[in-house]
């Protein structure tokens, strides 16, 4: 067994100029909302006023009617009203918060039968947000046992060359390896530089959903071994209709599967599969024995943190808007992380002792407590998929060196500047080593 591996969690699409999450298309009518502090941050009890402007062709729309509501993210609004804007702009009456967290202002406008929407969130001492999820007393023992069981299972790696995807400089393979529990397979697309030599490697972990993958050939062209994995134990090179059918059928809502049993919950095989993928990459003869990277956003952001916690070979990580963070927030009167297991739509089905207990073993918060890797994180205040309250609950418990780069107005997407900042942070550290 190789030792002293140096594993770097990086975002390779960022490193080589790609986009993690595309910026939304510009709307014909722009509903601009912003808190009255430039940094969108407030002290507890400090009043916030949201400024609203409705623009068409860059100019304020006069005599336009808006509807607005203000309240904690994902919760019932504290106030809501409608008003006609005589000059195209308006200041929502001041509100405040008595607790650390976020107040969100959502504004909608109807014009020519179409609805336009804008929002902004004010943060009240977010660095003081504490997690709500239970931290099981045997959390470390639970995952140590699982990793021990995984280590006893042979890789049984199968690599099938995909000639139609290969390039002059890169070989592309469909990879099929043995995952946690005999019979469960892990599939991915492996891209390896053809030129003889030793190379660093990248593991790409996916966001939520069911889809095919094509592999990261562009990065392999630059001298990086890449492995892009799926998490569902099915080949990743099938016709897209297969994934559409699974997403609407057998795998619909997979994040709920066996939530009442911590040993059988769907994500146990997924989390261990990320470790198993690292095992495979480090076994390749072309691997340089030192530099291994892993990245993802949303569910993939969660998996990046989780991989860093489970695999102490990791030295650095970079994560965007991690999902699966402090999911029990809804049980304590505030927003929880994706997949919103306990919001008003799901609480009746999921509010049981067994399911709440299972969450403690799989929540990013409790993995974040174990992270030793130096990391950079990035998100925005307007993320409605992964509410910032949930992400701060995880970020605030990390004791390892950490940097948070905020792009305040972003939702569940990134600006190119975010990607560039993360890229530079990671490149500097890669070069330093």
CATH number reported for the structural domain that contains residue 115 in this entry: 2.60.40.1930
pLDDT for 348 beyond 50: yes
Annotated catalytic residue 412:
yes
User: 153: helix, coil or strand?
Assistant: coil
Domain span at residue 65 reads 29-128
Q: What is the pLDDT of residue 7?
A: 40
pLDDT tens by residue, 332-347: 999 999 999 999 999 9
At 3, the pLDDT band (50, 70, 90 cuts) reads very low
15 and 49 housed in the same domain: no
Options 11, 97, 298, 325, the catalytic residue: 298
State mean pLDDT over 367-373. Answer: 95
307 and 406 housed in the same domain: yes
Considering 97, 128, 159, which residue would you say is the last residue of a domain? 128
State mean pLDDT over 241-253. Answer: 97
Contact 216, 12 (CB under 8 A): yes
Options 340, 363, 383, 390, the catalytic residue: 383
Annotated catalytic residue 374:
no
Q: Could you identify the residue written with the tokens 């066996």? A: 258
Structural domains in the chain (count): 2
113 and 172 housed in the same domain: no
More confident residue, 296 or 172: 172
Q: What is the CATH number of the domain that holds 140?
A: 3.40.50.1820
Bridge partners (DSSP) of residue 202 are 226, 293
Options 232, 315, 340, 412, the catalytic residue: 412
pTM tops 0.85, yes or no: yes
Considering 108, 128, 148, which residue would you say is the last residue of a domain? 128
Q: What is the pLDDT of residue 433?
A: 53
326 and 415 housed in the same domain: yes
State mean pLDDT over 41-56. Answer: 97
Within-domain flag for 1:
no
Please provide the average confidence, as pLDDT, over all residues in the chain. 91
Within-domain flag for 327:
yes
pLDDT for 141 beyond 50: yes
Annotated catalytic residue 383:
yes
d(CA 113, CA 96): 34
120 and 136 housed in the same domain: no
Contact 65, 90 (CB under 8 A): no
Considering 106, 128, 150, which residue would you say is the last residue of a domain? 128
């Amino acid at each position: 067994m190789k030792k002293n591996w140096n594993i770097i969690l990086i975002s390779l699409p960022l490193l080589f100029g790609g986009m993690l999450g595309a910026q939304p298309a510009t709307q014909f009518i722009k509903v601009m909302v912003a808190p009255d502090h430039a940094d969108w941050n407030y002290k507890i009890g400090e009043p916030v006023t949201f400024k609203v402007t409705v623009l068409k062709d860059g100019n304020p729309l006069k005599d336009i009617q808006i509807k607005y509501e203000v309240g904690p993210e994902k919760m019932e609004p504290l106030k809501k009203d409608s008003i006609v804007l005589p000059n195209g702009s308006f200041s929502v009456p001041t509100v405040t918060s008595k607790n650390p967290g976020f107040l969100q202002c959502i504004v909608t406008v109807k014009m020519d039968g179409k609805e336009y929407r804008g929002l902004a969130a004010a943060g009240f001492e977010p660095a003081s947000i504490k997690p709500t999820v239970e931290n099981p007393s045997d959390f470390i023992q639970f995952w140590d046992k699982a990793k021990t069981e995984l280590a006893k299972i042979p890789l049984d790696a199968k690599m099938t060359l995909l000639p139609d995807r290969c390039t002059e400089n890169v070989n592309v393979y469909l990879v099929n390896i043995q995952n946690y529990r005999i019979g469960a397979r892990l599939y991915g697309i492996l891209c390896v530089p053809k030129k003889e030599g030793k190379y660093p490697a990248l593991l790409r972990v996916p966001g939520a959903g069911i889809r095919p993958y094509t592999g990261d050939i562009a990065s392999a062209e630059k001298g990086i071994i890449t492995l892009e994995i799926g998490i569902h134990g099915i080949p990743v090179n099938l016709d897209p209709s297969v994934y559409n059918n699974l997403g609407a059928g057998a795998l619909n809502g997979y994040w709920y599967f066996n939530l009442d049993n911590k040993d059988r919950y769907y994500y146990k095989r997924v989390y261990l599969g990320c470790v198993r993928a690292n095992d495979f990459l480090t076994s390749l003869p072309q691997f340089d024995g030192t530099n291994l990277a892993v990245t993802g956003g949303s569910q993939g952001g969660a998996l990046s943190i989780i991989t860093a916690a489970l695999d102490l070979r990791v030295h650095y990580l970079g994560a965007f808007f991690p999902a699966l963070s402090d999911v029990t927030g809804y049980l304590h009167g505030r927003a929880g992380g994706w997949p919103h297991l306990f919001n008003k739509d799901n609480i009746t089905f999921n509010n049981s002792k067994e399911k709440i207990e299972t969450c403690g073993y799989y929540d990013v918060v409790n993995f974040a407590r174990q992270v030793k890797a130096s990391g950079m994180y990035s998100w925005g205040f307007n993320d409605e998929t992964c509410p910032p309250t949930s992400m701060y609950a995880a970020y605030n418990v990390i004791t390892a060196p950490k940097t948070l780069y905020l792009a305040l107005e972003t939702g569940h997407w990134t600006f190119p500047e975010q990607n560039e900042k993360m890229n530079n942070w990671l490149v500097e550290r890669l070069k330093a080593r």
